[in-house]
């Protein structure tokens, strides 16, 4: 039985990530396929239709592939670019929902104004997309949480998915803004979004803009004089590179950073698309790595990482990759997991890798990681036979670690810095009650307390009772 996944791309950042992902997915399937027939692997992400837009079955020749996706943005620019690009053939107009004016970097504007206006349209488009699936396993949302559309309308859509399809898993790749983000209302937007992610998502992969910038900086370091962050809509950060002795070159915005995220999404979903010696289903990720329903924020790291963007770099040995995967330089979010408690760890390996090599390295890692006392054997690993493009093998680590509370604390501090002066609050009160600020703050503080309690948790010591006789 084929298992399908529906992508929901929201906002400028979410759609730019989505386009890099679809490009990578097509290349991976083209490399892996041995025939021109539509198979279960392709059906996970794509429908196959004829010239009359009639659905074709598995085993039929490939004619026109259509992505299982919903594209949402409250500005026209990005969606217009998508539809006019070579990848535009993957999408139909009915898969797109857009407005003209945007959400103005206001979470409440996206959540309440556009949410109310487009709720029925979104539900109808989702219904038609779901009806085209035989065995829908997961919704996967890509968005940023610093702006207005990706954060506000993205949060609203996440709630709709839970209300309408409670039995289908909801995963998100959520881009967190850096501390010096140029969107002045980003501290409000990001915390409001985080609160909704905690309530409505099954699994969240936080991605830190600053971590992506650091990775790209290391890759470009030999050829650049400076890395300049530029103003970007939707809470994203652009890259401008100046080479020694050359005129300034402007790269396509965020291409390298979005490519890293695309590889992350590809790795997470590879087991549902390709054969493997020990494949891991998406539902197994939540089953094994999420011990409590609201503590579902997984820190991701990949190896090899730098050679994903620069093929000239030397490939890493498998044992070296196991060491790299736990180094902060290979994480998609800034933090120090080694100084905190691991609640659970997942390792997904791609390529021709032996069980014995994986088990040997995991055995070494167990002695180095601070696992919580009640889950000392909390390692889940899977092996997918299909390697990524340009690599012999690769590895993804998904860690549920209490260090994520430090990221939440930084976000809370930035929120309170604005809120204690009540600056910009009037823009939000046009759409919602001010009590939502306090509710959100209390909710995230309670979430941090849960992580802190687990970090401090120790096994109970029972006093031995002497027998009376």
Measure CA of the first residue to CA of the last residue in the chain; give whole Å.
65
Between helices 11-32 and 77-84, what is the axis angle to 10°?
20
Sequence-separated contacts (24+) of 432-439 with Cβ below 8 Å: 432/108, 432/111, 432/112, 436/108, 436/192, 437/188, 439/195
Please state the length of the chain. Answer: 469
- If phi over 0 gives left and psi between -120 and 50 gives alpha, with beta otherwise, what is residue 432? beta
Helix, strand, coil share of the chain (percent; to 5): 45, 20, 35
Strand partners, 418: none
Cβ contacts of 75 within 8 Å, gap of 6 or more:
12, 98, 99, 100, 101, 102, 149
Distance from C-alpha of 176 to C-alpha of 146, rounded to nearest angstrom: 7
Distance from C-alpha of 331 to C-alpha of 345, rounded to nearest angstrom: 14
- Residue that the structure tokens 């970097």 belong to: 105
Which residue is catalytic, options 76, 119, 284, 410?
A: 284
Strand partners, 289: none
**Quick one: CA dihedral 168, 346, 322, 332, positive or negative?**
positive
Is 46 strand, coil or helix?
strand
Distance of CA 217 to the CA centre of its chain: 21
Catalytic residue check, 455:
no
Residue 62 in contact with residue 36, Cβ under 8 Å? yes
Burial class of residue 222 in the structure, from the number of CB atoms within 10 Å of its CB (0-12 exposed, 13-18 middle, 19+ buried): exposed
Burial class of residue 52 in the structure, from the number of CB atoms within 10 Å of its CB (0-12 exposed, 13-18 middle, 19+ buried): exposed
Q: How many CB atoms lie under 10 A from the CB of residue 368?
A: 9
Phi, psi of 368 (to 5 degrees): -100, -25
DSSP-derived secondary structure for 250-291: -PPTTHHHHHHHHHHHHHHHGGGTS--TB---HHHHHHHH-S
* Residues recognised as catalytic: 284
């Amino acid at each position: 039985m084929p298992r399908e996944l529906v992508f929901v791309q929201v906002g400028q950042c979410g759609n730019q990530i989505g386009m890099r992902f679809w490009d990578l997915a097509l290349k991976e399937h083209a490399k892996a396929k041995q025939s021109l027939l539509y198979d279960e692997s392709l059906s996970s992400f794509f429908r196959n239709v004829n010239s009359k837009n009639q659905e074709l079955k598995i085993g039929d020749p490939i004619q026109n592939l259509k992505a299982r996706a919903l594209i949402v943005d409250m500005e026209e620019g990005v969606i217009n670019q998508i539809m006019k690009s070579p990848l535009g053939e993957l999408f139909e107009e009915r898969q797109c929902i857009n407005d003209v004016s945007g959400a103005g970097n206001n979470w409440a504007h996206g959540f309440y104004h556009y949410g109310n206006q487009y709720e029925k349209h979104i539900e109808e488009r989702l219904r038609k997309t779901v009806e085209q699936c035989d065995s829908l396993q997961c919704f996967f949302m890509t968005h940023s949480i610093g702006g207005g559309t990706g954060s506000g309308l993205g949060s609203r859509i996440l709630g709709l998915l839970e209300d309408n399809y409670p039995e289908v898993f909801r995963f998100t790749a959520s881009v967190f803004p850096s501390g010096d983000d140029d969107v002045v209302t980003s501290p409000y937007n990001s915390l409001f979004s985080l609160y909704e992610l905690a309530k409505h998502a099954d699994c969240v992969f936080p991605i830190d803009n600053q971590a992506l910038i650091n990775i790209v900086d290391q890759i470009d370091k030999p050829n650049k004089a400076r890395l300049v962050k530029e103003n970007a809509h939707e809470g994203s950060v652009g890259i401008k590179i100046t080479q020694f002795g050359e005129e300034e070159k402007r790269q396509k915005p965020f291409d390298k950073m979005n490519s890293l995220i695309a590889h992350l999404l590809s790795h997470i979903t590879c087991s549902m698309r390709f054969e493997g010696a020990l494949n891991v289903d998406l539902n197994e990720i939540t089953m094994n790595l999420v011990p409590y329903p609201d503590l579902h924020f997984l820190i991701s790291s990949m190896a090899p990482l730098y050679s994903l963007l620069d093929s000239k770099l030397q490939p890493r040995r498998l044992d070296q990759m196991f060491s790299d995967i736990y180094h902060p330089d290979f994480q998609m979010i800034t933090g120090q997991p080694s100084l905190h408690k691991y609640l659970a760890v997942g390792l997904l390996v791609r390529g021709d890798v032996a069980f014995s090599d994986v088990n040997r390295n995991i055995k070494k890692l167990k002695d180095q990681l601070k696992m919580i006392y009640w889950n000392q054997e909390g390692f889940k690993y899977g092996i997918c036979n299909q390697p990524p493009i340009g690599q012999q093998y690769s590895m993804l680590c998904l860690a549920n670690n209490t260090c994520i509370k430090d990221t939440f604390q930084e976000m809370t501090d930035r929120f309170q810095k604005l809120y204690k002066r009540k600056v910009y609050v009037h823009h939000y009160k046009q759409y919602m009650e001010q009590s939502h600020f306090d509710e959100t703050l209390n909710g995230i503080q309670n979430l941090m307390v849960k992580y802190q309690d687990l970090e401090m948790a120790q096994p109970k010591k029972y006093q031995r009772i002497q027998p009376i006789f």
